[in-house]
Amino acid sequence: MTDPDTHRAIDAVWRIESPKLIAGLTRIVRDVGLAEDLAQDALVAALEQWPESGVPAKPGAWLMATAKHRAIDRLRRDERLDRKHQEIGREMEFNEGQQEGDDLLRLIFISCHPILAPEARVALTLRLLASLTTEEIARAFLVPVSTIAQRIVRAKRTLTEARVPFEVPSGPELEARLSSVLQVIYLVFNEGYSATAGDDLIRAGLCEDALRLGRILAGLAPKEPEVHGLVALMEIQASRSRARVGPSGEMVLLLDQDRGRWDQLLIRRGLAALERAEQLGGALGPYALQAAIAACHARARTAAETDWARIVALYDALAELTPSAVVELNRAVAVGMAFGPASGLELVDALASEPSLKTYHFLPSVRGDLLAKLGRHDEARAEFERAASLTQNARERELLLDRAAASTRPDTAS
């Protein structure tokens, strides 16, 4: 095997094994920062040795054994060696056969701990669990590498200083902590599915990372309905990715998409995950409700067959469970589709003074669409132009300006 081939193999192994490696090491050393350093040491050793010796039959086990030896070497330089060395020796023996899934689940919870700021949780999760480099995370979110590096360093330091236990929470704490985990995964997915800035509408890599994390979490926590709800939501939304972008990279709205380009495998997986969430019993949570809304679109063979009345009812339930101006705005869209644009516009106008929507480009965009349907084209044009001025995504801006231009020609407005 040539050096380039070996390096590609090492990179592939690292992407797969590093989350499990860091999780297992964190259980042993009780310090996520040190665990990542030890994992990196093992990677360096692999880069030095595998080009000569070849990739071992069990590369994950090789990396773990190497990292454990590095842990002992480091601790031998610590004046508290004797006690700590004995503790690690016991951990290595006792946990040799422990399932990796338990460690991964603990690592997910510690990476998404509420003690960290949301942007720090996202960066740390992508670093430790999605195996992205600092440069890859920075590129995905269009921020300087130094900013991401600082977030990760501070996050690890915060966890260490706060002595956050490496465990899966239980009792009342579980729900709050699980909510934080789901939020982080969905933030990653959303940034990939509808990029907030830049020239690309979709960043497929982030969508794939979020989906992979969601599927892993669903396998580790199979009795949590909201985990399946989130997976269902992401699978169904991701199924539309190819149809959301036109031949020249332009944005294509949901109702204008070629449904023949929707990924049926992802739809089936999403509907199956939604069914699992429903079968676990109890009222649907916010992610499962959003997945049920997405399922209404997925099940409709054409845009005209969409069950908008059911979507309104689902938004009613979502608004009651998690009241917010954004939910109300989405509900107004559904009302406009189900009961006519005048009904939708009345609800949108009631949200016009909502502070949280002041710079949200979707508000004037929705208002412009409803005004255009009512034949109020000059007003619609002004709303689309305002929405275009608020978005930071180039593709969305192009679409909104196109719609503003179309509003000057009543025969082409929609």
- Give the tens place of pLDDT for each residue, 112-127: 999 999 999 999 998 9
**Which pLDDT does position 77 carry in this prediction?**
65
Three-state DSSP class for residue 166? coil
**Which pLDDT does position 412 carry in this prediction?**
45
- Helix, strand, coil proportions of the chain in percent (round to 5)? 75, 0, 25
Q: To 5 degrees, how large is the angle CA 323–CA 387–CA 117? A: 50
Class of residue 173 by CB neighbours under 10 A (exposed 0-12, middle 13-18, buried 19+): exposed
Indicate the range of 20-34, 287-301, 399-413 predicted with least confidence.
399-413
pLDDT at 271 over 90: yes
* Average pLDDT rounded to a whole number, residues 5-27: 83
Return the H-helix or E-strand segment holding 393: strand 392-393
Residues ≥6 apart with Cβ < 8 Å to 30: 166
Q: Which of 270, 214, 220, 212 is nearest to 240 (CA)?
A: 270
Instruction: Give the model's confidence band at 3: pLDDT under 50 very low, under 70 low, under 90 confident, else very high.
Output: low
**Which pLDDT does position 91 carry in this prediction?**
52
pLDDT at 334 over 70: yes
* Average pLDDT rounded to a whole number, residues 100-112: 85
* Average pLDDT rounded to a whole number, residues 302-320: 97
CATH superfamily of 307-414: Tetratricopeptide repeat domain (1.25.40.10)
**Which carries the bigger pLDDT value, residue 21 or residue 100?**
21
**Which pLDDT does position 206 carry in this prediction?**
86
**Which pLDDT does position 61 carry in this prediction?**
87
Strands (E), 133-277: 197-198
The total of other beta-carbon atoms located within 10 Å of residue 130's CB is: 21
Share of the chain above pLDDT 70, in %: 90
Residue pair 306/277 in contact (Cβ under 8 Å)? The answer is no
**Which carries the bigger pLDDT value, residue 9 or residue 332?**
332
Instruction: Give the model's confidence band at 99: pLDDT under 50 very low, under 70 low, under 90 confident, else very high.
Output: low
CA 38, CA 70: separation in Å to the nearest integer?
6
pLDDT at 140 over 80: no
**Which pLDDT does position 88 carry in this prediction?**
53
pLDDT one-digit tens code per residue, 162-207: 998 888 888 888 888 899 999 999 988 988 887 766 667 678 888 9
pLDDT one-digit tens code per residue, 41-58: 888 888 888 888 888 888
* Average pLDDT rounded to a whole number, residues 26-50: 87
pLDDT at 34 over 50: yes
pLDDT at 362 over 90: yes
pLDDT at 89 over 60: no
**Looking up tokens 């499990």, which residue turns up?**
20
Class of residue 9 by CB neighbours under 10 A (exposed 0-12, middle 13-18, buried 19+): middle
**Which pLDDT does position 346 carry in this prediction?**
97
Claim: this prediction has a pTM higher than 0.85: no
* Average pLDDT rounded to a whole number, residues 280-294: 94
Instruction: Give the model's confidence band at 69: pLDDT under 50 very low, under 70 low, under 90 confident, else very high.
Output: confident
**Which pLDDT does position 414 carry in this prediction?**
35
**Which pLDDT does position 198 carry in this prediction?**
67
* Average pLDDT rounded to a whole number, residues 24-39: 87
Share of the chain above pLDDT 90, in %: 54
CA 44, CA 145: separation in Å to the nearest integer?
22
Residue ranges in 30-80 assigned as alpha helix (H) = 32-53, 59-76
pLDDT at 268 over 70: yes
Instruction: Give the model's confidence band at 96: pLDDT under 50 very low, under 70 low, under 90 confident, else very high.
Output: very low
